[in-house]
């Protein structure tokens, strides 16, 4: 590599050493990471600690604005845990998380297996699969809400013409099908992420393993069961954790579609936090529900890491 004229004029390459000292100064990593640390502190860490503090107060929107709230200890937590809504909220949360994660993984795996093959229009098919992830969440949910509209939705019109559903059928006011509508939109949104991660895992499996299994007489199901599934174990553990955390904290899809209804059957922890803090103006109780949701997510992450991910790292 040729040195610059300015550096070559200095004896013994002092110019080069000086530039290296500037680039690799001990304070350089801290200077470069300072903006990210500042943004995370202002918009994530400080609000989190303030929400924890607020959960121990009786603050409402009016008392918070006036500064007239006071500490009440664990009252908000005991009110939530002993209240009649606790069972409904936890049931809605776990149903949404379990169904969302399992269905997203299944459809993500199916599409990943499909695009892992070579066929015509493969690039177009991959673009179509990734499209839902590129659409902003609010726009995506509004499109689906329009398509499922009881009066002029295209999906309703198609299903009514096939006599699958009755006329003016509402997806979001019927308890038995509201969760189905949520799953339809949620899986459609999350499936591209699962597809990309699982496709990367499939690409990492050596083709020689499949060839050797075929020579030994293994059929397609046996190759999938004994080669594909073990080969995807590491990416599956990461994907399931990401999908679970995302489902626990998801707010936009549920709020825009059902607002937690009907009869709180889709009111997950994130929805219940918003309802208490802003609709019912009980910010202290809403903060307590939010902190409880954080603790549940943290507990799942720690348990999942030690019992699922760590054994894979040691194996």
Give CA–CA dist 189/243, Å, rounded: 11
Half-sphere CA count of 25, side-chain side, radius 13 A: 9
Residues 112/195, Cβ–Cβ less than 8 Å: yes
What does the DSSP 8-state code read for residue 133? H
Single pTM value for the model: 0.84
pLDDT value at position 1? 45
pLDDT value at position 94? 93
Cβ-proximal residues to 301 (8 Å cutoff; 6+ apart), any chain: 241, 245
Token representation of residue 281: 């103006």
Domains and CATH numbers, the chain: 1-48 (no CATH), 75-314 (1.10.3720.10)
In three-state secondary structure terms, 220 is helix
pLDDT value at position 122? 79
Per-residue pLDDT of the chain (315 residues; tens, 9 = 90+): 444 454 444 455 555 555 455 556 788 888 889 999 999 999 989 989 999 999 999 888 788 777 788 899 899 999 999 988 899 999 999 999 999 999 999 999 999 998 888 878 778 888 888 888 888 889 999 999 999 988 888 998 999 888 888 888 888 887 778 888 899 999 999 999 999 999 999 999 998 988 898 888 889 899 999 999 999 999 999 999 999 999 998 999 999 998 888 888 899 999 999 999 888 889 999 999 999 999 999 999 999 988 888 887 776
pLDDT value at position 20? 52
Phi/psi of residue 89, nearest 5 degrees? -65, -45
pLDDT value at position 216? 86
Token representation of residue 46: 């400080």
Half-sphere CA count of 66, side-chain side, radius 13 A: 9
pLDDT value at position 152? 86
pLDDT value at position 127? 84
Closest CA to 245 of 206, 296, 286: 296
pLDDT value at position 22? 52
Tally Cβ neighbours within 10 Å of residue 56.
19
pLDDT value at position 10? 47
pLDDT value at position 54? 92
In three-state secondary structure terms, 136 is coil
Element (H, E) at 104: helix 85-115
pLDDT value at position 110? 94
Sign of the Cα pseudo-torsion (222, 223, 226, 232, in order): negative
Give CA–CA dist 59/282, Å, rounded: 7
Give CA–CA dist 172/180, Å, rounded: 9
């Amino acid at each position: 590599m040729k040195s610059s004229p300015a550096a070559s004029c200095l004896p013994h390459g002092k110019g080069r050493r000086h530039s290296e000292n500037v680039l690799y100064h001990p304070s350089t990593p801290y200077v470069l990471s300072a903006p990210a640390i500042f943004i995370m502190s202002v918009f994530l860490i400080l609000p989190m600690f303030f929400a924890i503090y607020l959960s121990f107060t009786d603050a409402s929107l009016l008392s918070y604005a006036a500064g007239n709230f006071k500490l009440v200890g664990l009252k908000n937590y005991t009110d939530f845990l002993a209240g009649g809504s606790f069972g409904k909220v936890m049931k809605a949360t776990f149903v949404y998380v379990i169904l969302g994660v399992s269905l997203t993984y299944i459809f993500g795996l199916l599409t990943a297996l499909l695009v892992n093959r070579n066929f015509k229009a493969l690039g177009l098919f991959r673009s179509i699969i990734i499209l839902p992830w590129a659409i902003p969440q609010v726009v995506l949910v509004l499109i689906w809400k329009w398509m499922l509209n009881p009066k002029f939705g295209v999906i309703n019109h198609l299903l009514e013409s096939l006599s699958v559903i009755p006329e003016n059928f509402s997806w979001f006011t019927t308890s038995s099908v509201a969760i189905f509508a949520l799953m339809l939109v949620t899986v459609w949104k999350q499936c591209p992420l699962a597809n990309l991660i699982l496709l990367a895992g499939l690409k990492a499996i050596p083709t020689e393993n499949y060839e050797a299994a075929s020579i030994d007489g293994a059929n397609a199901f046996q190759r999938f069961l004994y080669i594909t599934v073990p080969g995807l174990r590491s990416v599956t553990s990461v994907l399931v954790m990401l999908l679970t955390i995302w489902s626990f904290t998801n707010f936009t899809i549920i709020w825009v579609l059902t607002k937690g209804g009907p009869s709180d059957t889709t009111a997950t922890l994130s929805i219940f936090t918003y309802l208490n803090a802003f609709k019912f103006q009980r910010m202290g109780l809403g903060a307590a529900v939010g902190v409880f949701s954080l603790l549940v997510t943290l507990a799942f992450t720690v348990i999942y890491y030690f019992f699922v991910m760590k054994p894979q790292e040691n194996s």
